[in-house]
Amino acid sequence: MREGYEGTGPGAITPDGCAVELYARLPVGDEPDIIAAAVPAGARILELGCGVGRMTHALLERGFDVTAVDESAEMLERVRGARTIRGPIEGLDAGETFDVVLLASFLVHAGDIEVRRGLLRTCVRHLAKGGCVLIQREGENYHTDVPRERVDPSGFTVRIVSADPVGDGVDSVHAEYIFPDATWTQTFRARP
């Protein structure tokens, strides 16, 4: 486990504290529709931090050619229909460029500034001329509006329990995901 990152709950937990089974259960949301409206039909997309492929699968269904990257073998085992690459994103060199580079899951908020810089360098390295980088960011009050809770229409609850400063502008964020049959927690470091 990386320093400052941990996760609990049923199933495999990745080095950054993500629970594979939890991410397989979470709904995809409206992000694929937003992406589809913003980029050319059939674009080649490099998805950095794909996890179990929730967004990957939705983008494939919309006709995009997706290459999915994650450092977790357990996460990538859930990805279907896309080319996959396993490894740390910040050092990735796939040897090709893409119409769209997608950095979702709030990865741009990595607590380690060198990791954050590496993520952005990877985005630039893989961007085709005339292409675009799409970055998902946290909401403006993500670190200050705590604790908070949201009940998803599908029946689970997400709680952001705390976001405590740990130094150098970095917060330790603690989240809980409560389903009727299981509960997961995740602690991670993020820079607002």
Residue-level pLDDT, tens digit, the chain, 192 residues: 789 999 999 999 999 999 999 999 999 999 999 999 999 999 999 999 999 999 999 999 999 999 999 999 999 999 999 999 999 999 999 999 999 999 998 888 898 999 999 999 999 999 999 999 999 988 888 888 999 999 999 999 999 999 999 999 999 999 999 999 999 999 999 998
> Do 44 and 65 form a contact (C-beta atoms < 8 A)?
yes
Query: What is the residue extent of each domain of the chain?
Result: 6-12+141-190, 21-135
> Do 101 and 80 form a contact (C-beta atoms < 8 A)?
no
The gap from C-alpha 146 to its chain's centroid, in whole angstroms, comes to 21
- Beta-sheet strands, E only, within 53-140: 65-70, 83-86, 98-103, 127-135
Within 48-111, residue ranges assigned H as helices are 54-61, 73-76
Determine if the pTM surpasses 0.85.
yes
Topology (CATH) of 21-135: Rossmann fold (3.40.50)
Q: What are phi and psi of 108, to 5 degrees?
A: -65, -15
d(CA 159, CA 176): 5
